[in-house]
Structure 1
Amino acid sequence: MSEVLDRPGCAPDSRTGPRAVPTDGARRRRLCEAAASVFLRDGYAAASMDEVARAAGMSKRTLYQVFPSKAALFEGTIAATLVPVALDTELEREPDLRRALTGILAAAARHLLAAQQIGIYRLVIGERHCSPELAEVTHRVLTSRGSSALERRLTAEAAAGRLRFSSPTVAARMLYGMVLGSAQIRLLLGVRDPLEPGEIASLAEEAVALFLDGAVVREG
């Protein structure tokens, strides 16, 4: 459905009243969702801004107002699909450490191992020769958001003297790797079916149990 601003002179339907104009944030989300589907269907090189605008139900003019180029649109799509805001901030504040770490890891795994996210990674890998900048953009976006909820919670626990490790960043990477690593590789290769929620929960629980057994500070 096209936006009111994209259709000059179009009067609102008298039966329903004025139609709400999407906010800039809502437009970005709609465009990124549409772009993800077009990129995954057509590939980055073959994807057109016209198709993205059509899929989002917006004019090409509006698309270029939000994203001035296809490169900017791809970067926005990566940010929206691979690093969503506030994915696990509530879990970060969970008082029980084991439950907090398990919940954060499971939430990340459910998101990053989903079909769309795996498809984006495959796209970046598959077009690395024709469009090597995609990998650079993806890496930049993934590393530009600062510390994760997992890393922040580990930092707080170490500062309180409840956990010990050389670096919370390294510890967080190890935990993510324990849960995501093998499954993500097999999904990228297409040699296994998507993980069920119960399987993801079990992986997170086992990773946290192994981590805490080796990292927890015992009295005496």
Structure 2
Amino acid sequence: MDQAEKPIIRTGRKFEQVLEGAREIFMRDGFEGASVDDIARAAGVSKATLYSYFPDKRLLFMEVAQTECNRQANESMDLVDRHAPVRQVLEFGARRMVQILTSDFSQQMFRVCVAESERFPELGRKFYESGPATGRRHIMDYLKEAAQRGEVAIEDIELAADQFMELCKADLFVKMVFGIRNSFTPVEIDRVVMGAVDTFMARYGA
């Protein structure tokens, strides 16, 4: 069996320590530059302990990415009132999406996945499944509910969800990816958020 196919042991008191140490080092050094020695040191565990949880560095990277993406997605869902007026829900969703897209973690993970995609295509696939794909599913679920209540008029829910996500990337995301900017003012973020909601509602508002 390939190392990357072995099951991950998610029990034990040091599991969270390993994840937190790995997150710190991956954020600092990227996937290729991160050494097992540095991760073990940051986690406060031995290399033997680290390998008992993650026999392959790719597995560890994917677990860090998936854990963080799931945390962000679940946190967003806990905070939003899905029965509030549709424009209010979409504004909240757009603002959270912009915060996530422009966070240091998301930017680092995106760059690592792009850089390593040729050698380790499973990295990009796992990151997409736990990050963008999860967010897309949440948006689709909400839009279906809103459509059933007559708050939006949407025939192609999947396309509408994709369009909303792309609207939330306008101007900001590409500038961060290419290193032109590393932060934005509240006014700049508000411009993109409100523009995304206004454009989406102009197309799909009931």
Give the structure-2-normalised TM-score.
0.79
* Structure 2 residue corresponding to 1:74, chosen from 61, 81, 88: 61
Give how far 1:41 is off.
3.0
> Aligned partners of 2:45, 2:195: CA distance in 1, in Å?
46
Matched with 2:182 is 193
Over the matched positions of the two proteins, sequence identity in percent amounts to: 25
Distance (whole Å) between structure 1 residues aligned to residue 187 and residue 12 of structure 2: 33
Aligned to 2:88: 99
Stretches of structure 1 that go unaligned for 5 or more consecutive residues are 1-22
Return the letter of the residue paired with 1:68: P
Match of 1:118 among 88, 107, 110: 107
More deviation, 169-178/196-205? 196-205
Does the 8 Å CA contact 2:114/2:124 hold for their aligned counterparts?
Answer: yes
Q: Residue 43 of structure 1 corresponds to which residue in structure 2?
A: 30
Contact 2:86 2:151 in 1 (8 A): no
Q: CA deviation at 1:216?
A: 1.6
The match for 1:156 is 145
User: Is the 1:101–1:150 Cα contact (8 Å) retained in structure 2?
Assistant: no
Aligned CA distance change for structure 1 residues 94 and 49 (closer, same or farther; 3 Å): farther
Deviations 1:164-220 (A, max 9, x none): 122222211111111114321110100123123443233112211221122122xxx
Amino acid at match of 1:48: S
Asked if 1:182 corresponds to 2:171, the answer is yes
- 2:27 counterpart letter in structure 1: L
Runs of 4+ in 1 over 6 A off after TM superposition: none
- Select the structure that is richer in helix: 2
**2:47 partner letter:** K
Is the 1:75–1:141 Cα contact (8 Å) retained in structure 2?
A: no
Partner Cα distance (1:34, 1:50) in 2:
11
SS in 1 for 2:74: coil
Q: Pick one of 49, 53, 71 that aligns with 1:62.
A: 49
| 8 A contact 2:136–2:161 mirrored in 1 | no
When normalised by structure 1's length, the TM-score is 0.75
Q: Is the contact between residue 178 and residue 207 of structure 1 (CA under 8 Å) also seen in structure 2?
A: yes
The two structures, once aligned, show a CA RMSD in angstroms of 2.7
Q: Point out the more displaced range, 27-36 or 171-180.
A: 27-36
